[in-house]
């Protein structure tokens, strides 16, 4: 390839990269600009509003629509609990599949993978009927409860997360645990004192994946939760703008900006562990 062709190749690559960047950034700038626009109509939205204002943000926090803070709290509570419990359960399951050999082990792994091929939303009718039964028998984990919603989320989270975590555990040398066994450690103590500290990157990855997935989930939450005080952020904002699409566009955009800041802060504060966790388990059994 001659020098002229190299120049053109470099120009085309850079052009494609910048087009992709603009394509990705434009919606973000549009929402941010709209959140500062004093006009609440979607027809007057601008990336750079002429008279920027904080009224849209103020109306969410201290105005008549201050249920926004309740929705944020509900979402954070559900997301953190779901992610934390998921990491705990998946770490136990993944360690068992990685280190121990027992009857039905391979079939169990394949079954988990097969179940994950079907999204949770396909069984939303069955989930609703099950939660209705729980509502009659065990009300505190039935319909319109955050505990019940967390249980439903956990049911769909453990399978794939267990596979991801197992791959990372497979990359940790077994000799470390064998040395601990020689010193008198039990299997659980070796798991807690040796494996978990070394597996911190994949634990963070699973936590972030589950947190973001739960944080933005709408369909199941909208089916199981009823009432302003119980809604998550996704459900609350959908109903908040549903009947007032033309005159609540500014506060809706502001709510989107505030809601996304939480995820961005968590992601960037843990990004080093996320990258090492995603690449650390890339081995075959």
Q: What is the pLDDT of residues 13-56, one digit of tens each?
A: 888 999 999 888 888 888 888 888 877 666 656 666 667 788 88
What are the DSSP calls for 93-106, one per residue? HHHHHHH---TTHH
Please report the pLDDT score of residue 63 as a whole number: 63
User: Backbone dihedral region of 47: left (phi > 0), alpha (psi from -120 to 50 degrees) or beta?
Assistant: alpha
Cα–Cα distance between 265 and 165 in angstroms, integer?
24
Q: Which residues contact 185 (CB under 8 A, 6 or more apart)?
A: 177, 193
22 CB-contact burial (10 Å; exposed 0-12 / middle 13-18 / buried 19+): exposed
Q: What angle do CA 211, 212, 217 make, to 5 degrees?
A: 100
Query: How confident is the chain (285 residues) per 10-residue block, as mean pLDDT?
Result: 73 89 86 80 64 82 76 94 93 88 84 77 85 89 92 85 86 85 84 87 88 90 89 88 70 87 83 63 46
Cα–Cα distance between 132 and 143 in angstroms, integer?
6
Please report the pLDDT score of residue 251 as a whole number: 83
272 CB-contact burial (10 Å; exposed 0-12 / middle 13-18 / buried 19+): exposed
Q: Are 122 and 220 in contact (CB under 8 A)?
A: no
Name which of 43, 12, 49 is nearest 29 in CA terms. 49
Q: Looking at 117-218, list the stretches that DSSP marks H as alpha helix, in order from N- to C-terminal side.
A: 124-137, 146-170, 175-182, 187-190, 196-198, 200-215
Name which of 157, 156, 167, 116 is nearest 277 in CA terms. 167
Please report the pLDDT score of residue 245 as a whole number: 62
What are the DSSP calls for 37-72, one per residue? -S---GGG--SS-SS--SHHHHHHHHSTTTHHHHHH
User: How much is the pTM?
Assistant: 0.84
Token pair of 23 as six digits: 């394509």
Please report the pLDDT score of residue 284 as a whole number: 44
Name which of 245, 217, 243 is nearest 231 in CA terms. 217
Please, where in the chain does CATH 1.10.3720.10 lie?
A: 67-280
Q: Which CATH number is 67-280 given? A: 1.10.3720.10
Cα–Cα distance between 52 and 65 in angstroms, integer?
21
């Amino acid at each position: 390839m001659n020098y002229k062709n190299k120049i053109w190749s470099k120009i085309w690559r850079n052009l494609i990269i910048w087009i992709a960047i603009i394509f990705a950034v434009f919606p973000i700038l549009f929402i941010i600009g709209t959140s500062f626009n004093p006009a609440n109509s979607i027809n007057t939205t601008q990336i750079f509003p002429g008279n920027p204002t904080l009224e849209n943000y103020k109306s969410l926090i201290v105005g008549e629509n201050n249920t926004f803070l309740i929705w944020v709290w509900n979402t954070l509570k559900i997301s953190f609990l779901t992610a934390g419990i998921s990491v705990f359960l998946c770490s136990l399951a993944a360690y068992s599949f990685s280190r121990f050999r027992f009857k039905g082990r391979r079939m169990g792994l394949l079954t988990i993978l097969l179940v994950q091929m079907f999204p949770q939303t396909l069984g939303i009718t069955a989930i609703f009927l099950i939660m209705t039964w729980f509502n009659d028998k065990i009300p505190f984990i039935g319909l319109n409860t955050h505990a019940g919603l967390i249980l439903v989320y956990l049911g769909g989270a453990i399978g794939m997360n267990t596979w991801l975590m197992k791959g990372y555990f497979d990359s940790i040398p077994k000799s470390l645990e064998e040395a601990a066994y020689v010193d008198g450690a039990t299997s659980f103590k070796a798991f807690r004192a040796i494996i978990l500290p070394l597996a911190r990157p994949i634990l963070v990855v699973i936590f972030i994946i589950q947190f973001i997935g739960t944080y933005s989930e709408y369909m199941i939450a909208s089916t199981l939760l009823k009432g302003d005080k119980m809604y998550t952020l996704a459900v609350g904002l959908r109903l908040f703008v549903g009947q007032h699409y033309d005159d609540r566009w500014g506060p809706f955009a502001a709510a989107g900006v505030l809601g996304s800041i939480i995820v961005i802060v968590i992601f960037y504060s843990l990004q080093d562990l996320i990258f090492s966790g995603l690449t650390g388990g890339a081995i075959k059994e």
